[in-house]
Structure formats: C-alpha cells, structure tokens
A and B are shown apart, each in its own frame.
Chain A
Amino acid sequence: MYTQFFGNFLISKNIISAKDLLDALDLIPTSTASFGLLAVHSGLMTADELQSIEAMQKTEGKTFDELVISTGYMTQDSVASLKAKNIPDYLVLSQILIDKGKISYSEIENLLLEYQTDNEVFDMEGSAEQRDEIFMNIMTYCSMCGSNFSSKSMNYLSLFFNNLMHYICEDFHVLAVKECHDYHVDHYIAQKITGGLEVLSSFDMNQATAVKMASLYAKEDFDDSDMPIVHASIEDYLNLHNGLFMVNASNESTSEYTLLPPETILDQDIDFDEHTYELPIVFSFGTIHFIFRITDSK
C-alpha cells in the first residue's frame, strides 16, 4: 500500500525533474517493465545479478528465463509465478527512466526499497482469520443482495479496514452487514469517488462517538463544543482514506478516479440508492455505522 506516488517521490529526492516525469508519464500506456526489473523488485535477484544475466545473454545466446533458471536465481515455478503477476505502473515508470538513462538498475533497486519503507502503510493488523471472516460476511451478504464485488472493490474495503486500524483504533469488531435504504442519520460524514469504481463511503454515529473518533484521528482532545472541527476531522479522515485508495490505484494501474469534496449532514432522513450497505463497526468508545456503496463500472 503506497501512500505517495512514486514519480513524486523521485522528484522530491531530486532524482528526476518534473519534465522528466511528465515525459515518462506520457510513455506509460505504451510501455512495460522488463522481466528482469520485475525480478529485482520482487527480491528474487539483485540489480548486479540482473546485469550479469544481461551480459551473459549477449555472449551465450540464451533467453533471460533460461539463464535465471540455469544460474539458480529462479526456478521454473518462480518464473511462471512472476510472469503471471500484473506489472504495476511505478515499475513501468522505473523501466522508462532506466531506458532513458535517467537512472540505473542499482539506483532503482535502492529507491524502490526506500520508497516502500518510507511510504508503506502496514498490512492489515489483527488476525488474518478475523479479516477473512469480515470480508466473507460482507461479500456473502452483498452477493445475496445482487452486488458483484470485483477485486478493485475488495482492495477498497481492505484499505478501509487497514486505515481504520492505522489511523483510528485497532480494537474493534463488526456486526452483521445489512442493506441500507431509508435511514435517519445523526452525525453523517460522506464522500464519493467517481470513475472506474463508483464509491460512496460514509460514517454515521452519535455525537459522543464522533468527538472520540475525531480526537483519535487528529490526536487532539476535542469536546462537544468543538463540533465544527470534529466534523472537519472526520471529513479529513475520509478524504485521506479515499485519497490513499486513489494513489494506490494510480500506482498499480492507469486507473484514474475523481474524488468529490466530503460533506457532513446532521439529523436527517436519507433515502439511499439500491445496493447501499450498512456495516456497524463497534469500538470501545462507540459504534460507527459504515455506510457504503461500491459499483465497479468496468
């Protein structure tokens, strides 16, 4: 899960200029990353080893695959497994910059590592069983209601729980998900994403829970007299979460989305569209009702 676009990272490190990045971005749709770079990025070989294989290719007339297997860097299975993986856009960007001579394999190996170390949001904490159970419950129920969740939708939900644990509180459990139609909101904060994935993600909660959630996120000690900034904090959290999803999607593929400004609605009846769901998330400080609708339009 990357929190910063790789090209921006390279500019901030003064590795490339803004013009270098713009030129390279234009080439992404018609470019790909070499199998060797993919192997280096996956930790199966180092940049030095990659260069030695490339040198051997010139003298021995064998394919890259044959050489990495015969030299013992990879097995037939690991070659096949790596070839089946999708190539993320930041690797394609890296390859373009290597081919243009802006950066070497050794430099990119270190930069990718630094980038991931600097910007990685920890994978979902808690037990894998707990996470799988949550996802299975959501998917089973939503499928029964006629929703068809794609891998992009699952990535969105995975990041949602990841961020909830990272930025709010690790200690929660969820109750049964249910369809959400006519609903009276109390303190309701919502944001929409449009594009390849149409997303409504929103929270509804009582005032005390809103104050606590905002305090945890902003690392401030809010109280009932701070409601404007409490709402702004929860809007900011949603904006951060959705922004991170978009950055991840942008890093992994050419998917582009539009994020609309978040909004707060107080004490009102809302008639939600079909395939909107409510998932109560119970924390020690109160229950946050996660109301969401995810439609994969592609």
Chain B
Amino acid sequence: MKLEDAKILIGDDSVLARKQLKDTIASFGGKNFIEAANGDEAVLLFKDENPDIIFLDLVMPIKDGITAIKEIKEVNPEADIIVVSSVGTQKQLKAAIEAGINDFVQKPLNTALIKTILTARFEGR
C-alpha cells in the first residue's frame, strides 16, 4: 500500500503533538489523517474508521494510551500501533509491549525514526 492511500490515526491530547506528527508524516506523503484527542476517541475512531496505522500517546485524559491499546487489540489483534510518548520508562515500555504495540517512539519526535517506521510499512510517493 502507498503511504498516500493509508488511513492514519493519530491519538494525542496535545494539538501541537498531533500537528507536528501529521506534518512529519505528510512530508513523507501521508494524506489521510484521523485525529483523536484522548484514548476514548482513539478507540471509537479505530472502530469506525479501521485505520491502517495508529500513532498513540500514552498520557492522555479520559482513557490512557495503554488502556486504548488493549481495547483496540481486542477489536483487531493485528492493529498496527506505534506509541509516541515522552514517557518511555521501563514500566510504560513493558506495559505497551505486553499490550501489543509494534513500535515505541520516544519524544521529542525523531523524524528519521518516523520515516523508518513508515518506509517499513508503506511504499513512498
């Protein structure tokens, strides 16, 4: 699948973090974005939109990232979830891996790492 055809869900309570990640992915060719401002919205949007890849923060109001990952994985165990968080502690990383994430990106955002993640999954422009 081409990146420009991929449906990309970004779940982060920070509008800045969502904008920066969206801008980064768009610079590599991503076009179809869905945004969630908390874990609850992310799960609902996942069920409604069935995105091809999900970028999720861990610290979010209403429903945190780990809970959202577990609920998404219950709906679709194959869901491709990338955690993007400033809280890369042992406990959080372990919980995220156990919940079934496919990658963990530590903030501040590393553009090269995002490119590597996208290149491994999608064709470029």
Instruction: Chain B residues near A235: list those with CB within 8 A.
Output: 14, 16
Known: A218-B16, A236-B16, A239-B14. A4 touches B106 (CB 8 A): yes
How many angstroms from the CA of A18 to the CA of B99 in the assembled complex? 12
Residue of chain A at shortest CB distance from B98: A22
A232, B16: Cβ atoms closer than 8 Å: yes
Query: With an 8 A cutoff between CB atoms, is A34 at the interface?
Result: no
The stretch among B27-35, B69-77, B81-89 that forms the contact with chain A is B81-89
B88, A5: Cβ atoms closer than 8 Å: yes
The secondary-structure label for the interface of chain B is mixed
Query: With an 8 A cutoff between CB atoms, is B104 at the interface?
Result: yes
How many interface residues does A have (CB within 8 Å)? 35
A232 contacts which of B15, B91, B93, B104 (Cβ < 8 Å)? B15
Interface centre among B13, B85, B88 (most CB of A within 10 A): B88
Query: With an 8 A cutoff between CB atoms, is A25 at the interface?
Result: yes
How many angstroms from the CA of A54 to the CA of B49 in the assembled complex? 58
How many interface residues does B have (CB within 8 Å)? 27
Known: A5-B106, A261-B60. A25 touches B14 (CB 8 A): no
How many angstroms from the CA of A292 to the CA of B13 in the assembled complex? 23
A247 contacts which of B15, B88, B94 (Cβ < 8 Å)? B88
A250 contacts which of B13, B19, B20, B90 (Cβ < 8 Å)? B90
A247, B14: Cβ atoms closer than 8 Å: no
Instruction: Chain B residues near A236: list those with CB within 8 A.
Output: 14, 16-17
Instruction: Chain A residues near B26: list those with CB within 8 A.
Output: none
Instruction: State how many angstroms separate the Cβ of A29 from the closest Cβ of chain B.
Output: 11
Instruction: Chain B residues near A257: list those with CB within 8 A.
Output: 89
Known: A5-B88, A5-B106, A247-B87. A22 touches B14 (CB 8 A): no
Interface members, chain A 12-51 (any B CB < 8 Å): 12, 18, 21-22, 25, 28
B89 contacts which of A3, A5, A218, A228 (Cβ < 8 Å)? A5
